[in-house]
Amino acid sequence: MRLHKTGGQHGTDLLYAIPALARGLGEVMGVVFSAPNAPTLYVAGDTIWRPEVEQAITTLNPDVILLNTGAGKLKAFPDNPILMSKEDTLVAAHLVN
């Protein structure tokens, strides 16, 4: 089995520009699990849709993608999600070959 570390971000750039929020949101990583003769699994982690997520999908070509979705938001920042939305889920689904 091979593990590939991937990137992500648990909120928008605006949220990470606020030091206290950035500390609370923390660092994010995803993992792609691959093995010979087995489906490849991508666990994106607590991230919004980001170039790192798209790159993981297009480069590592997972068979299965596990996303944390629901468009979660902080009450004080309703226009800045911390998790992917249903639209992001559709984008991910369309990238899978």
Amino acid at 65: I
Going from the N-terminus, what domains does the chain have, and what CATH number goes with each? 2-95 (3.60.15.10)
Beta-carbon neighbour count of residue 82 at 10 Å?
22
Instruction: Give the model's pLDDT for residue 64.
Output: 95
How does pLDDT run across 33-73, given as a tens digit for each residue?
999 999 999 999 999 999 999 999 999 999 999 999 999 99
**Mean pLDDT over each residue of the chain, to the nearest integer:** 95
Q: How far apart are CA 85 and CA 11, in angstroms?
A: 12
Q: How confident is the model at residue 35, as a pLDDT? A: 97
Q: pTM of the entire structure? A: 0.91
How far is 15 from 21, CA to CA, in rounded Å? 6
For residue 31, the surrounding DSSP H or E stretch is strand 30-34
Task: Check residue 97 and give its pLDDT.
Answer: 64
For residue 96, pLDDT over 90 is answered with: no
